[in-house]
Amino acid sequence: MEKRGFTSNRERKLWLWALSVLIAIYGTLFFGGQLIDFMIERRIIEQTTFYLFLLLILAPIISGWKSSDQKLGFWVYAGVMAVYGMALLRMDLTVAERSHIFEYGLLGVLVHEALIERKSNGAKVKTPALVAILGVGTIGLLDECIQYLIPYRVFDLVDIGFNYLASAFGVLTSVGVSWLQSVFIGRFKNKS
């Protein structure tokens, strides 16, 4: 029997966070271009990107300061995010392309975590990682299709690719961090 509705309070929270990220992404369709132009003119775009990236690294570390197992996982996550961020800085990407990677990467992580939570509570979810990547990438495709209809926005096939790539980066980072965390925690528990 398929479970309907949320399977836990954590799943509900993850879906609400994913919805809030989605609303923020789609909300920028109508004023995001002007905001980016304003930030570029005032030369504040680089600092904003830096502080958002710093927040992206620090938020899970601070929120996970409960147990030593969680601390280890969040430090692994911070290391992966630092490497991920440095790779992004080395790429010759525009600010908009970098924002796609952050936006759709975060959305991918939230959707993936919600699907994993759902599956762990007995709901039938096959391959949560693949479902999250394809689902979030398709949301990015819809984003670009909407931009085609807005006169001052540009439909871009490259952005569609970035949206799918960003969701894959986010989900695969989440999977990798979970795997590293289980390896490290397993080693520490075996030594004790």
Give tens-digit pLDDT for 152-181.
Answer: 777 888 888 888 988 998 888 878 877 776
Instruction: Please report the pLDDT score of residue 49 as a whole number.
Output: 64
Residue 185 lies in a domain: yes
Give the whole-angstrom CA distance, residue 20 versus residue 16: 6
Q: Domains in the chain: how many in total?
A: 1
In whole angstroms, what is the distance from residue 69 CA to residue 57 CA?
18
pLDDT at 6 over 50: yes
pTM: predicted TM-score of the whole model, two decimal places: 0.73
Is 3 a domain residue? no
Instruction: Tell me what pLDDT residue 65 has.
Output: 47
Convert the pLDDT of each residue in 54-96 to its tens digit.
Answer: 665 555 555 444 445 555 555 555 666 666 666 655 556 565 6
Say what percent of the chain tops pLDDT 70.
58
In a domain, 61, yes or no: yes
Domain encompassing residue 182: 9-191
- Predicted pLDDT of residue 191: 60
Residue 133 in domain:
yes
If you average pLDDT over residues 128-149, what whole number do you get? 93
Residue 53 belongs to some domain of the structure: yes
Contacts of 124 (CB under 8 A, 6+ apart): 2, 3
Round to whole Å and give the CA distance between 139 and 145. 10
Q: Is residue 109 part of a domain?
A: yes
Q: What is the pLDDT of residue 130?
A: 95
Positive or negative: CA dihedral 59, 61, 65, 70: positive
For residue 88, tell me if it sits in a domain: yes
Q: Considering the domain boundaries, does residue 180 fall inside one?
A: yes
Nearest to 150 by CA among 26, 21, 1, 44: 26
